[in-house]
């Protein structure tokens, strides 16, 4: 997976910043929202993914919303 995304495995840490460290763009945030909907079964609120700072924030957001929608 890290090869597909072109990231060094060492860069994928909970405190990695989505924009600064991983280069997430607005388009990436939209694609991530689509991935979340398809994979986890809930639609993120508009702009929610774009507002997250770290991978841990993204992980927490998915976990909290999966539980809320279960």
Residues 6+ apart with CB under 8 A from 59: 14
Confidence of residue 5 (pLDDT cuts 50, 70, 90): low
- Predicted model pTM: 0.82
Share of residues in the chain with pLDDT > 70 (%): 86
Q: Whose CA is closest to 14, among 63, 45, 53?
A: 53
Region of poorest pLDDT, from 2-6, 9-13, 45-49, 50-54: 2-6
30 — alpha (psi -120 to 50), left (phi > 0) or beta?
A: alpha
**Mean pLDDT of all residues in 51-59:** 97
Say how many domains are in the chain: 1
> What SS3 state is found at 16?
coil
CATH number of the structural domain spanning residue 60: 1.10.1200.10
Which domain range does residue 45 map to?
2-68
> What SS3 state is found at 54?
strand
Higher-pLDDT residue of 51, 3:
51
């Amino acid at each position: 997976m890290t090869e597909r995304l072109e990231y060094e495995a060492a860069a994928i840490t909970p405190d990695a910043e989505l924009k600064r460290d991983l280069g997430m763009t607005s388009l990436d945030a939209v694609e991530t929202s689509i991935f979340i909907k398809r994979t986890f079964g809930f639609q993120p609120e508009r702009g929610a993914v774009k507002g997250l700072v770290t991978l841990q924030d993204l992980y927490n957001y998915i976990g909290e919303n999966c539980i809320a929608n279960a």
